[in-house]
């Protein structure tokens, strides 16, 4: 056997390999407030549920929940002010 090369054939099913690649692929990385899924148009955000992903995240998430509420109210106030300015300009 010394000095001889053996031919080895490997058959790979392309569709199965593609499905496996799609399974391991990360589609998109989004911030927490943009990852709303189906409830995106229902004005319900996953952050309002205050569910921790893991035990180590719980303390951070509890503090973040209070900050998120204040930030959301601030954002809504800014939106109202912008709308009022647009309405006043059109008059």
Distance CA 75, CA 82 (A): 11
Alpha-helical runs (H) found in the chain: 14-24, 46-49, 58-90
State CA 50 to chain mean position distance: 16
Q: Is 30 left (phi over 0), alpha (psi -120 to 50) or beta?
A: beta
Model confidence band, residue 39 (pLDDT cutoffs 50, 70, 90): very low
Average pLDDT, the chain: 66
Q: What is the pTM of this model?
A: 0.28
């Amino acid at each position: 056997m010394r000095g001889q090369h053996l031919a080895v054939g490997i058959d790979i099913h392309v569709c199965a390999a593609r499905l496996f690649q799609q399974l391991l692929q990360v589609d998109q990385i989004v911030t927490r407030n943009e990852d709303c899924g189906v409830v995106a148009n229902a004005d319900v955000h996953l952050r309002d549920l205050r569910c921790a992903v893991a035990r180590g995240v719980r303390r951070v998430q509890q503090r973040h929940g209070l900050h998120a509420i204040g930030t959301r109210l601030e954002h809504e106030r800014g939106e109202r002010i912008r709308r009022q300015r647009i309405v006043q300009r059109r008059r």
